[in-house]
Structure 1
Amino acid sequence: MEITAESVWSNCLSFIKDNIQPQAYKTWFEPIQAVKLTGNALSIQVPSKFFYEWLEEHYVKILKVALTKELGDDAKLVYVIKMENTYGNKQPFTEKIPSSNRTPVKSQDVDVPFNNKSPELKNPFIIPGIRNVKIESQLNPSYTFENFLEGDSNRLARNAGIAVANKPGGTSFNPLLIFGGVGLGKTHLAHAIGVDIKDKYPEKTVLYISAEKFTQQYIDSVKKNNRNDFIHFYQIIDVLIIDDVQFLSGKTGTQDVFFHIFNHLHQNGKQVVLTSDKAPVDMQDIEQRLLSRFKWGLSAELQTPDFETRVSILKNKLYRDGVEMPDEIVEYVAKHIKTNVRELEGAIISLIAQSSFNKKEITINLAKDIVDKFVKNTKREVSIDYIQKVVSDYFQMDVSTLQSKTRKRHIVQARQLAMFFAKKYTKASLASIGSQIGQRDHATVLHACKTVDNLSSTDKQFRKYVEDLAKKLSL
């Protein structure tokens, strides 16, 4: 029987498959193709230089044993790197693997004899010049499920997070998209999922990163012509957590690379967790193919916590810090700071600090001073009800008229302006705005916003309506 590159590599794979974990085999050996056999040198094709470096770092010994069994002690391995030219030329090319740091040469292969040299992993989180192949999770261990208090406003998101942490990649919540306004705990919950997974599955590679940092790493990889290394780094992650994914809006290159990474992770049963300040339906300048994937799993909203939950959050914070505070003061703070958990905890911290530094007793008056400063220094989010009232008063009509089904032009325009300002001044989803302004759907709200933008630029009188209402609502 003739010995071919395919038959030699097939025998090597049989041996390797019996000696490593199935997932590792699937990730690192199934993509490899045998190219040619020249004497005792087997050429194999791998997707990127990063892929080759990972094999050399982690599997060089088993490769050596397998190939020696087939071709004898003088066996050699030649890596052919087939990669995409990131400078716009869609033709694939092969990259030479040099024994020193020379410039890559197209369409040329080179021997890489087995040796003990371990190439440095192309890890975007490694500081240049410092050798470290371990991928740090970038998680904050203080963000846990234990100190993420459950309430009606977050029950779905929290329980979905726990389900994902118990079985990453094994639930229908993949991806899990957590969305909501500022300061409601999206980042906390995302970290808590990662921390719990690391605790339960220490062997899994978990990585938390902001969409902004992910974008910057991608830009750097393009500048350095190692885009494929960047992609392959992210494709080996078991649990990828991306914070503030709405930051990808308008960044087509980053969206494209994330699309490929997402597909690979999802197809291989890896878990993706995303956070955003808006629901997928409200995201603008995000490609449809990416938005459709965001909807594959579960989108869970974090809403403004109710009074009872706010009290529980404050009491838990005080308990963890070992501080006692009268219930009436805790309830006063919870009653007056409603929209933002971060500000809620910040007010309590300020209260404790004022009391401690100034040797003052914690009283209702002191609490009132602190809360007044927080409320004054924070751009308050107006409610949709308030916006409807201001718009109705401006056009001298009842709110019920504004919400009615009538198609009279001046009422339709008033309704559209209310929707426009609700989107501008609140964190509510388009669906939520529509349901509160006359039981409309999100498409109606989106159309209203576009209409207001168009009329503002073409109709002088209409532009005056917008400017007058903006002044009233920003007071």
Structure 2
Amino acid sequence: MNNNHLQVWNNCLAVIKDNVPPISYKTWFEPIVPLNLENQILTLQVPSHFFYEYLEEQYIDILRKTLRKEIGNSAKLEYNVVMENNHIANAKPFSVVVPGNNGTNTKNRPVSMPSDKEELTIRNPFVIPGIKKLHIDSQLNPDYSFANFIEGDCNRLARSAGVAVSENPGGTAFNPLVLYGDSGLGKTHLAQAIGIKTKELYQDKTVLYVSANKFQTQFTEAIRNNNKNDFLHFYQMIDVLIIDDIQELAGKEKTQNTFFHIFNHLHQSGKQLILTSDKAPIDLKGMENRLLSRFKWGLSADLQNPDYETRVRILHQKAYKDGIVLENEVIEYIASHVVNNVRELEGALISLLAQSTLNKKELNLELAITIIDRLVKNTKRELSIDYIQKVVCDHFSLPIDVLQVKTRKREIVQARQIAMYFSKTLTKASLASIGSQIGKKDHATVLHACKTVNNLIDTDRGFKTQIDEIDKKLKM
């Protein structure tokens, strides 16, 4: 067995080069730098977190085979991700070690059973039958932690409630905690973050995350195999039960009836329930009234579309995590045009990185405009009021906060009026909504502002020039 990390990696590359296309080899293997080989663990330096994820997804089989051939069957792989975060003032380049198969420990302890005979009777629907111990995998994704969840006005209540629940599961008034909102706003992330934090604080707690669809499938299988009681007893042993997309149980009366009994048992036993839904409990259709009434026992917290500032922070964090250096203007362009949800934001960033990596293009505003225009339809109509305020304030070199301040200073009043004018012209927001977001004014003030701006455009050539400049910036 060779102990020289350079020689080991070169031997691996010789095999890999013969088994992958030349362009793939050049793109994904030539940039890798072997750093160390110790205790049968080979450490490789890769350019970004995205690079590491792509290797793990596409080439892990050939990496595993070549490493075992060179090092032995106990060979392991670690990644050293180099991140240069120039978008953060005074930040220095640093490295973070990303283990190939480690991370946050979300495993549950084996569930103790009353006796040896009964130990074999309750089947775990997550594993094959015939087990002697119920080793319950929490089904949590370690990446979905509170540390990776960006807080903003759009989700502050839900996140705060989630932290409180994780610190005292079953002991707060937030039981059940229902997280609701449109797709892609972070409900699953937040629900799993609660489970992860609970496992960190209470190792003895049994935490389980399951989608409603999987719950339904397991129940159907239990009925088919005449194991309904096993299914029921299994779920009644959970300390923190997280059901994702509870609306998927709509119309499924037998499954709802079983879940009703599980819910009652856990709630009465002081166990914690966390549910996610695409609608508020009051708006759910096809659900039994007795279930809906119980959903309202605790707290229902909604997650809304992230505002502009939150979208910018999300993109900064995602870029930081993946080791990507992006200019602020690129991030601001993405944040201003991809406005619907977090999932689309991350998808846009991944598409941008993939295009840059695979086609050897520079990560600049021009590439961002090309990619975003492909991904988002009618981008010009999807400008947010937050972004309009920022562009207007940047044009006049004003801090964005001044638009919310009560003042009669001419430059601030005029900037506020221009922001209102563009918000009415370029968004579908109501006058009342525009006024509430810009200076907390009423709809009459917005109407007056628009009339004032139109009059100045017609009578003041210098003012019209400034309006045209701002308009171009907004429609880039």
Letter in 2 for 1:237: I
Listed one character per residue, the Cα deviations across residues 105-152 of structure 1 (whole Å, up to 9, x for unaligned) are: xxxxxxxxxx78952641111123565521110111110001100000
Distance 1:234 1:354, change over 3 A: same
Q: Assess if the C-alpha contact under 8 Å between 2:232 and 2:258 holds in 1.
A: yes
1:361 to partner: Cα distance = 0.9
Task: Give the SS at the match of 1:330.
Answer: helix
1: CA distance between counterparts of 2:131 and 2:357?
A: 44
1:300 aligns with 2:301: yes
Map 1:448-463 onto structure 2 (within 5 A): none
- Name the residue aligned to 1:468: none
Asked whether 1:278 is paired with 2:250, we answer no
Q: Give the gaps of 5 or more residues in structure 2.
A: 1-109, 385-432, 434-476
Q: 1:360 to 1:298 in 2, by over 3 A?
A: same
Quote the residue 1:288 is aligned against. Answer: 289
Amino acid at match of 2:288: E
Q: Which runs of 5+ in 1 are unaligned?
A: 1-53, 61-114, 384-431, 433-475
The 1-side partners of 2:219 and 2:228 are apart by 7
> Where in structure 2 are the equivalents of 1:173-212 lying within 5 Å?
173-212=174-213
| DSSP-derived class of the 1:207 partner | strand
Q: TM-score, normalised by structure 2?
A: 0.55
3-state SS in 1 of match to 2:146 = coil
Letter in 2 for 1:367: A
Measure the CA separation in 2 of the matches of 1:164 and 1:124.
26
Q: 1:149 to 1:276 in 2, by over 3 A?
A: same
Compute the RMSD of aligned alpha carbons.
2.5
Name the aligned partner's letter for residue 278 of structure 1: K
Q: 1:223-252: per-residue Cα shift (whole Å, max 9, x none)?
A: 111211111111110000000000010000
For 1:58, give the aligned amino acid: M
Following the alignment from structure 1 to structure 2, what is the Cα–Cα distance between the partners of residues 162 and 363?
A: 38
Deviations 1:190-238 (A, max 9, x none): 1101011011101000000000110111111111112111111111100
State the match for 1:71 in structure 2: none
Determine helix, strand or coil for the equivalent of 2:147.
Answer: coil
Q: Using the alignment, how far apart are the partners of 2:383 and 2:269 within structure 1?
A: 44
Report if the CA contact (8 A) 1:120-1:133 is conserved.
no
Instruction: State the partner residue of 1:27.
Output: none
Asked if 1:244 is matched to 2:245, the reply is: yes
Report the TM-score, using the length of structure 1 for normalisation. Answer: 0.55
Task: Name the residue aligned to 1:152.
Answer: 153
The superposition leaves residues 344-393 of structure 1 with CA deviations (integer Å, 9 ceiling, x where unpaired) of: 01111111111111111112121011111211499x9999xxxxxxxxxx
Q: Given the superposition, is the C-alpha separation of residues 346 and 117 from structure 1 closer, same or farther in structure 2, using an over 3 Å criterion?
A: closer
Between structure 1 and structure 2, the one with the greater Rg is 1
Whichever residue aligns with residue 142 of structure 2, its letter is: P
Cross-structure match for 1:216: 217
Structure 2 match to 1:225: 226
> How many residue pairs end up in the alignment?
275
| 1:299 counterpart SS class | strand
Aligned partners of 1:126 and 1:132 also within 8 Å:
no
Residue equivalent to 1:333: 334
C-alpha distance in structure 2 between counterparts of 1:117 and 1:207, whole Å: 22
For 1:303 and 1:215, the matched residues in 2 are separated by 28
Aligned counterpart, 1:143: 144
Matched, 1:58 2:59: no
Aligned counterpart, 1:127:
128
Contact in 1 for aligned 2:318/2:346 (Cα 8 Å): yes
- Are the counterparts in 1 of residues 180 and 301 from structure 2 also a CA contact under 8 Å? yes
Q: Using the alignment, how far apart are the partners of 2:119 and 2:290 within structure 1? A: 39
Partner AA of 2:317 in structure 1? N
User: Shift of residue 325 of structure 1?
Assistant: 0.3
Q: For residue 309 of structure 2, what is the amino acid of its counterpart?
A: E
Q: Secondary structure at the match of 1:128?
A: coil
Aligned AA (2:264)? N
Whole-Å separation in 2 of the counterparts to 1:228 and 1:179: 31
Q: Per-residue CA shift, 1:266-287, capped at 9, x if unaligned?
A: 0010000000000011110101
Aligned residues with identical type, % of pairs: 61
